[in-house]
Structure 1
Amino acid sequence: MKKKLYEIVYEDKDLIIVNKSAGLLVTADRWDSEAPRLDKILEEALLKKEQGSKICNSKIYPVHRLDKDTSGLIIYALNAEAHKILNDDFQNRKIEKIYHAVSAGCPREENFKTDAKLRIDGDKMHRTLIDEKKGKDSLTEFYLLKKLSRFSLLEARPITGRTHQIRAHLKHLGLPILCDSLYGNGEPVYISALKKNWRGDKYEERPIISRLALHAHSLKFFHPISREKIEVSADYPKDMAGLINQLSKL
C-alpha cells in the first residue's frame, strides 16, 4: 500500500494547510534538487482540480518551513496578498506554532525554556550551534506533557524561527529528540531495546520509529484576508503514536 504523503486539513482561495508525512521536503532543497517536494506535489494536484473549485490558481507560496524528517502541519499561501501578510505575521510572531517531541531523558521542571543563541549552518554537518557571541537571539518554551519512563513527551513552542531551533535547543538542554541523526544518536527505536523480557525474533524485528520524533502538532493564527481566527491540529502519524504507546507501557 502506497504511503500517503499529505492530508489537507484546511483550504480556501487564499491559503492551504497540510499535514505532511515525515521524509518529504516542503520546498526546494539546495542539497538535493531532484528530491520529491510537497509544494510541487500540491501545485500539480491543484492544477488538476476542476474549474469553479475553491482554489482559483495552482501557484503555491511557501511562508514557513518544516524539516524533511518532521511530520505535521505546514501553511502555504495561494496568492501574493495572502503570502505577504502571512510572511509579516510569521516575522512579527503572530502565528503560534506548537510541536510535540519525544526526547531522551526527563526535564527537572514541567515548564521550562531556553534563550540560548543559535548560529545557523555552524559546522561541516550544517548543524545549528549554540553560540552566545555570534549566534542570533532565539527562544523556545517547553512543557512536559508526559513522562515515559526514561523518556519524555514534550510540547515545544518556538517563539523565534531559527533553523533546527527545537532540535538544537533540546540537545543543549540534554534532552535530544529520539532518532535525531544530527543532534542525537540517530538510532531507530526497537521494542527489544526497551523491554528486557522481549522474546521476539531480533532478525525480523522492525523499529517502532526510525525518523526524527518531532511533529508539528497545531497552528493558531488569524486568516490573512478575513482575519478570522484559525486553529488546526494534526494527529500523530502511526510511527510516533506507536512510539508513545510503547513507551507508556514501560
Structure 2
Amino acid sequence: MKQQLEILAETGDFIAINKPAGLLSIPDREQSEPSLKDLLLRQFDSIFTVHRLDKETSGVIVFAKNEASHRFLSQQFEARTTTKLYNGLVLGKVYDTEGTLDQPIGEHPVKKGMMTVVRKGKPSITEFRLIESFPQYSWMEFRILTGRTHQIRVHMKNFGHPIVCDPLYGDGQPVLLSSIKKKFKLGKDVLEERPLLNRLALHARSLQITGIDGKELTLEAPIPKDLRATLQQLEKVNAG
C-alpha cells in the first residue's frame, strides 16, 4: 500500500500529519490493515502515539519521535492544555448559534464498540458554534475540552444532529447532489449517481500545542476536497 502522507509540520521531536479519512491512526487489535503509525514507522526508527483520530475522521494528528517529546506532549493532552478544533457537517438545521454539550460518555451497555451518553460515564465537554446553515444540514465548528472516544459523534447524536454519513451514530447515508438540487439530472451516459460525500463528515482542522522548546504551535489542516465540494454545492443551492 503506497500512500503519500501530507506533512503539516516536522521537527526532531514530533511530526504532524494531515490524516486522510479511511486510515487508522494506530493499529487495531486484529492488525487488520495498515495504520498511519505503521506507515510512519517505515520512515522513522521510533514513533510514539500521542493522541488519535477515528478512522473516518480526517485532519491534524501528532506523533512524537522520542520518549521525552512523547511524555511532554502526552501530558498536555492529559492536562487539557491543548486546543482542538474540528469542523463537521451535521444532519438538520441547528438553530443555536453556539453552545456547550456537557454530558458524561461511557460504553454502550449493549452495542459493542459504541459509546453513549450515560449518567455514570466520564465527564465530556464539547463546545459548538454554527458556521453556516442549509435546509438539510449545518456546518459546524467544535472544540473538545475532553478527549473521549467518539465524543463529538456521541454528543451530536444526543443533541439531535448526528454527523453526516455516520454509520454508528447517524443514518450512514451519503450526500447526493440529487437530494439537495431540485432540477438534478444524471449525465447521458451515467448509469448511477456518485455521492458528493460518502464518509464521516468530520475533520480535525486545528491543534494548538506547546513544543518541547516552550514555543506555542498552531497546526492546521485544510478542509479536504470531498467536504469542500459538498459545501460548495450546498452554498450554490442556498444562493438559489
TM bracket (short chain): over 0.9
Q: 1:38 to 1:155 in 2, by over 3 A?
A: same
Q: CA RMSD in A?
A: 1.6
Q: Does 1:179 align with 2:177?
A: no
Aligned residue among 84, 98, 121 for 1:97: 84
User: Is contact 1:4–1:21 with CA below 8 Å preserved after alignment?
Assistant: no
* Structure 2: gaps (5+ residues): none
User: Is contact 2:57–2:202 with CA below 8 Å preserved after alignment?
Assistant: yes
Cα separation, 1, equivalents of 2:2 and 2:223: 15
Give the corresponding residue for 1:41.
39
What amino acid is aligned across from residue 74 of structure 1 in structure 2?
Answer: I
Aligned residue among 143, 146, 152 for 2:138: 152
What amino acid is aligned across from residue 34 of structure 2 in structure 1?
Answer: P
User: Is contact 1:120–1:162 with CA below 8 Å preserved after alignment?
Assistant: no
Q: 1:26 to 1:150 in 2, by over 3 A?
A: same
Q: Among the aligned pairs, what percent are the same residue? A: 40
Shift of 1:149: 2.6
Cα separation, 2, equivalents of 1:169 and 1:5: 33
Q: Does 1:62 align with 2:26?
A: no
- Is the deviation greater in 235-244 or in 156-165? 235-244
User: Is contact 1:5–1:24 with CA below 8 Å preserved after alignment?
Assistant: no
Give the corresponding residue for 1:55.
none
Give the corresponding residue for 2:7.
8
Shift of 1:34: 2.6
What amino acid is aligned across from residue 41 of structure 2 in structure 1?
Answer: E
- Is the deviation greater in 115-124 or in 204-213? 115-124
Cα separation, 1, equivalents of 2:2 and 2:97: 36
**TM value normalised by structure 2:** 0.93
Shift of 1:121: 4.8
Question: Which structure 1 residue ranges, 4+ long, deviate > 2 Å from structure 2?
Answer: 2-6, 120-125, 201-204
* Structure 1: gaps (5+ residues): 47-57
Give the corresponding residue for 1:209.
197
SS of alignment partner, residue 168 of structure 2: coil
**TM value normalised by structure 1:** 0.90
User: Is contact 1:170–1:177 with CA below 8 Å preserved after alignment?
Assistant: yes
Shift of 1:5: 4.9
Give the corresponding residue for 1:245.
232
User: Is contact 1:5–1:20 with CA below 8 Å preserved after alignment?
Assistant: no
User: Is contact 1:121–1:128 with CA below 8 Å preserved after alignment?
Assistant: yes
